[in-house]
Structure formats: C-alpha cells, structure tokens
Amino acid sequence: MLKYAPQLINLFATLILLLSFAMISQRRIVSLINLFMIQGAALVAASFLLGYVAKQPDLYVSGWLTLVLKVIFIPWMLHRLIRQLNVRWDVETLFNIPTTMLVGIALVIFAFSLALPVSRLSDSIAGGSLGIALACVFLSFMMMITRSKAVPQVIGFLSMENGLIFAATTVTNGMPMIVEFGIALDVLVGVLILGVFMFQIREKFDSLDIHHLEALKED
C-alpha cells in the first residue's frame, strides 16, 4: 500500500482536477451538484489515504467532516433547494464552452508554474499535487465569476474550498484540527445563509439571476 501511495494520491488529485473542468463546462444544475459530490468523495479518499500513509489522525477527522458535509448533507440540501425553487434549467454562462475550457487550461498552466517552487520545498508525500490543488481553486473561482445564477456560484465557492483544503493537505499533511472545525462551521453556516438568500431573490424577482440585484440600486 505504501509503495503505491504517491501514485494513488496523484490519481485522486487528477480526478479532482478533471471534475473541476467538468464543472466549469456543465450547464445542468443537477449534474453540477452531482459533480461537486463526486469531487468531495475524491477529496475524502485522498484525505484518508494520506492520513494512513503519513500516520496523521487529524486527516481522518478532516475526511469524515468532508464526507458528512460535502458528500452527503450539502448535496442533499442543494438538490432539495433546486426542487423547491424549480431551477433545473441549463446554466447560463458569460462565455461559451470552448472559450471557458481554453481559459481553464491557461489557468492550470499558471497554477503549476506558481506552485512549482513551493512544491520543491514541501516534504509531504503529496507535495507534487499542490499545482493541481491550486488549479482547482482557480477553476472554481472562474466558475463563480462566469455564472449568472446563484446556485452555480454557491457550488463554485464550495468547490474552491475543496481546492484550498486539498492544497493544505498536500503541502502540510493537514491543517490544525481547530482550523478544520472552524472552516467546516463557516461553510455550513454560509450555505444555509445562501439558501435563504436564494429564496429571497426568487420571491422578489421570480428568478435566481443575480443580475436582477442591480435593480435594487435604483429602488
């Protein structure tokens, strides 16, 4: 198991990156939530594996937190939310899919060049995956700024948090546990607040397009 651990971690890292690409090109909100759930599962697997190899019990707790929040509770809550709001339509993007993918590739190249010096200084078994983690953060941020609907932006924020956790895991073998619990609580509260926020947008404008919020400036 220890012999193939670096290859397995790189496999999970590659899967997380591919899922990030799939998310920025996905137009269906239901499929977007499912992709986010699979990405969370890949992050859980990477955390458990790295915890076993590095003998870090904190990574097991981090993995269980991610499993409960990102794989089970938040996807279930988002599916329930879109059923209540009836927002199963295609996601509108500011750019077409080919342009989005080309920009994504450029962001991945930039992320790898930016992470290379830090990866060389890391003594973690997964230090070489920092570039992938940083690329996931950039891709998720791009998804947030190129989508006009509230739900995909929420998923982009959650996916970006996945990338940040994976970056901390690969470079330092995990964050202090108090930080893990603090981030988990912040994410949970943030999603609940955003859920209420989306209901308020839908009630006032009968749409989840955040561009309608510009009308509030004129009121």
CA distance 12 to 42: 6
Confidence of residue 41 (pLDDT cuts 50, 70, 90): very high
Question: In this predicted model, what pLDDT tens digit does every residue of 147-194 receive, in sequence order?
Answer: 777 778 788 888 888 888 887 777 766 555 545 555 665 666 666 666
Inter-residue long-range contacts of 79-84, CB under 8 Å, 24+ positions, other chains counted? 79/30, 79/33, 81/151, 81/195, 81/198, 82/29, 82/30, 82/33, 82/151
Question: In this predicted model, what pLDDT tens digit does every residue of 185-210 receive, in sequence order?
Answer: 566 666 666 665 565 555 555 555 55
Q: Two tokens at 92?
A: 């509108």
Residue 54 C-beta-side C-alpha neighbours within 13 Å: 24
Instruction: Note the pTM of the prediction, 2 decimals.
Output: 0.78
CA distance 189 to 115: 31
